[in-house]
Copies of this chain bind each other. A is one copy, B any other.
Amino acid sequence: MQERFQLKMDQFLPLRDVVFNTLRQAILTGELKPGERLMEIHLADQLGVSRTPIREAIRKLELEGLVTMIPRRGAEVAQITEKSMNDVLEVRRAVDALCVELACERITAEELERLGAACDAFAKEAMKPEKEKDVKLLAEKDVALHDIIVQATGNQRLIQLVNNLSEQMYRYRFEYLKDFSQHAKLVEEHRVIYESIVKKECETACEAAKLHIDNQKKAIIRQIRLEKEKK
């Protein structure tokens, strides 16, 4: 397994950031599995850099909650437990509601238009006959849609927070979207949120956002239990 990771060289980003992004991606996609040790020399060799940028990247992953440090033993990929996921989702539920509320107040005409388009794009993909569906594409449309809302809040701190919380869910997003029976419901939920924002009905929008998270929560927790049983 010589070439597990590929460094996407970016002339203008410090190596530590390139490494950070690379490792983060690897963790989120499951390439690096929970509990797996991150050993500096090995990573350095594989990525073709020295230990220094690796270490600095790990420091950032540590604060981001993607790895856990064990003194004198180094970093390992953080375990996902049902409890930790519950914690994340609990926070995410409140924070998403806030996003939608603020978006209601602050969204611009241009953003609103893009939001509508994003809704349509998601719906179009979700409503395709099963054989044509591309779950990866669907996930992207979903992210794009949520991103417009989050950006519309204009709150940098909030944007950063949501991104961090989302990370923890990415590893399960696929499983959740693979359940085709839920797709119609998702489209409908998005529609409600969109319509509420258009009409500036904060309350309705918030409730819809919370419901949206609640449904994802069910799917994710189910998935975690399944994986646990397999062991």
Interface residues of A (CB under 8 A from B): 12, 14, 16, 52, 55-56, 59-60, 62-65, 71, 84, 87-88, 90-91, 94-95, 97-98, 102, 155-158, 160-161
Contact = CB atoms under 8 A, between A and B. Distances in A.
A157 B12 CA distance: 33
Contact of A157 (B16, B87, B98): B87
Nearest to A57: B59
Contacts of A102: 90
Contacts of A161: 91, 161
**Chain copies in the assembled complex:** 2
A97 B12 CA distance: 42
Given A84-B157, A91-B98, A94-B98, 10 more contacts: A52-B52, A55-B56, A56-B59, A59-B59, A60-B60, A60-B62, A60-B63, A84-B156, A87-B155, A94-B97
A158 B90 contact: yes
A113 B200 CA distance: 43
Contacts of A160: 65
Contacts of A90: 98, 102, 155, 157-158
Contacts of A56: 55-56, 59
A156 B88 CA distance: 9
A91 to B, nearest CB: 5
27 contacts: A12-B71, A14-B71, A16-B59, A52-B52, A59-B59, A59-B60, A60-B60, A60-B63, A63-B63, A63-B64, A65-B160, A84-B157, A87-B155, A87-B157, A87-B158, A88-B157, A90-B98, A90-B102, A90-B158, A91-B95, A91-B157, A91-B158, A91-B161, A94-B94, A94-B95, A94-B98, A95-B95
